[in-house]
């Protein structure tokens, strides 16, 4: 169904999914903000010694998935900390209970709860809640993007050399070395680089014009699912390599006019491979 065609059933579903995503994100965000232990430590590691999980990541995902199971028991779920439910409704929730975990561990403010709902593989609803920013970003497919209830729009594309570009680095040292090499070539060609530590927030910063562009290799669906929709509904183009959708291989987001040259330059620099 084209997103610009009115479909009362789909509209009702999108409204229900948005309401649940907002409630879950705010409840998890309040828990994470107010309940962060002063002595928070690393509960476990994943792909490397610096790919960390805290007790709060696990508890946040449990809170979110419990609410979804209670309200929509037939939906599927995937979450960064292991949530995996097949579901039968065709709706799948994609959850990052803390995007920016290392920031959260260190007490830095740039972290968020990221929740997306997909139907038959298409993202219908995305919510990114950043408690320490006091901001909640949301989008519904075909209905625009908002930050704290106000319309979110990308900044008009600047010349390539005036672009403020966000990026990030993976948890494996070999990949970080390769990403630094790409960055070494790119940084003299743009205004400047920002590395915030949360892909979801970086994508929302593109959506609100706080970044001109963002790219990163190695993200997982839970990192980008909600922020991708928010950025697109705010006027950005998103993708991976030329002609490809965004993926773990490469995520690129920017307004038209900047997206194309940045995507081409990243292709030239081999930003899509280790
Ligand atoms: C993080 C991403 C960030 C990336 C980090 C990490 P996490 O997700 O949001 O953009 O650079 O390496 O993957 O692990 O905090 O959910």
* 3 within domain boundaries: no
Task: Report whether residue 80 contacts ligand 1, using a CB cutoff of 6 Å.
Answer: yes
Does residue 199 lie in a domain region? Answer: yes
Same domain, 138 and 20: yes
Residue 97 CB less than 6 A away from ligand 1: no
Q: Residue 155: name the closest of 214, 230, 208 by CA.
A: 208
Q: Looking at the structure, do residues 77 and 186 belong to the same domain, yes or no?
A: no
β pairing state of 84-85 and 76-79: antiparallel
Q: pLDDT by residue (tens digit) across 108-153?
A: 999 999 999 999 889 999 999 999 999 999 999 999 999 999 999 9
Same-domain check for residues 28 and 129? yes
- For residue 166, give every residue at least 6 positions away whose Cβ sits within 8 Å of its Cβ, in sequence order, or none: 193, 194, 195, 196, 202, 205, 206, 211, 213, 214, 215
Q: Is 236 within 8 Å of 255 (Cβ atoms)?
A: yes
Question: How far is it, in rounded angstroms, from Cα 213 to Cα 219?
Answer: 16
Establish if 249 belongs to a structural domain.
Answer: yes
Residue 164 shares a structural domain with residue 129: no
100 lines ligand 1 (CB under 6 A): yes
Q: Are residues 136 and 58 in the same domain?
A: yes
187 part of a folded domain: yes
Q: Tell whether 89 and 214 lie within a shared domain.
A: no
Instruction: Record the pTM.
Output: 0.96
CA 7 to centroid of ligand 1, rounded, Å: 36
Residues pairing with 99 in the sheet: 112
State the CATH number of the domain containing residue 246. Answer: 3.40.190.80
Q: Residue 260 domain-assigned?
A: yes
201 and 85, same structural domain?
no
For atom 15 of ligand 1, the residue with the nearest CA is 100
Q: For each successive 10 residues of the chain (274 residues), what is the average pLDDT?
A: 64 97 98 97 94 96 98 98 96 98 98 97 97 98 98 98 98 97 98 98 99 98 98 98 98 98 98 97
In ligand 1, which atom is closest to the CA atom of 51? 14
Residue 98 sits in a domain whose CATH number is: 3.30.540.10
Domain containing 99: what range? 8-151
Same domain, 101 and 195: no
Which of 151, 185, 217 terminates a domain? The answer is 151
> In this structure, are 25 and 56 located in the same domain?
yes
Domain boundary among 107, 133, 151: 151
Domain count, the chain: 2
Which mutation among 223, 246, 250 tests ligand 1's pocket best, with the greatest number of atoms within 8 A of CB? 223
- 114 and 35 in a common domain: yes
């Amino acid at each position: 169904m084209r997103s610009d065609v009115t479909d009362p059933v789909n509209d009702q579903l999108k409204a229900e999914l948005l309401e649940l995503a907002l409630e879950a994100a705010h409840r998890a965000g309040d828990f994470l903000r107010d309940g962060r232990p002063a002595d928070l430590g690393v509960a476990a590691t994943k792909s490397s010694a610096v790919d960390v999980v805290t007790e709060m990541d696990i508890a946040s995902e449990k809170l979110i998935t419990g609410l979804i199971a209670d309200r929509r028991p037939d939906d599927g779920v995937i979450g960064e900390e292991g949530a995996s439910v097949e579901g039968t409704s065709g709706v799948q929730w994609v959850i990052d209970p803390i995007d920016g975990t290392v920031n959260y561990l260190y007490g830095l403010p740039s972290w968020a709860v990221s929740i997306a709902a997909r139907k038959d593989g298409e993202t219908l609803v995305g919510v990114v809640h950043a408690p320490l920013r006091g901001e909640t970003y949301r989008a519904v497919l075909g209905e625009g993007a908002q930050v704290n209830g106000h319309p979110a729009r990308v900044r008009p594309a600047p010349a390539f050399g005036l672009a403020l570009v966000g990026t990030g680095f993976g948890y494996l040292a070999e990949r970080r070395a390769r990403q630094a090499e790409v960055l070494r070539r790119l940084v003299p060609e743009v205004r400047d680089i920002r590395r915030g530590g949360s892909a979801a927030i970086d994508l929302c910063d593109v959506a609100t014009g706080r970044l001109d562009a963002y790219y990163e290799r190695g993200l997982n669906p839970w990192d980008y699912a909600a922020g991708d929709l928010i950025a697109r509904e705010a006027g950005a183009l998103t993708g991976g390599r030329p002609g490809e959708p965004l993926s773990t291989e490469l995520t690129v987001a920017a307004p038209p006019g900047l997206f194309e040259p940045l995507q081409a330059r990243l292709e030239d620099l081999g930003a899509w491979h280790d």
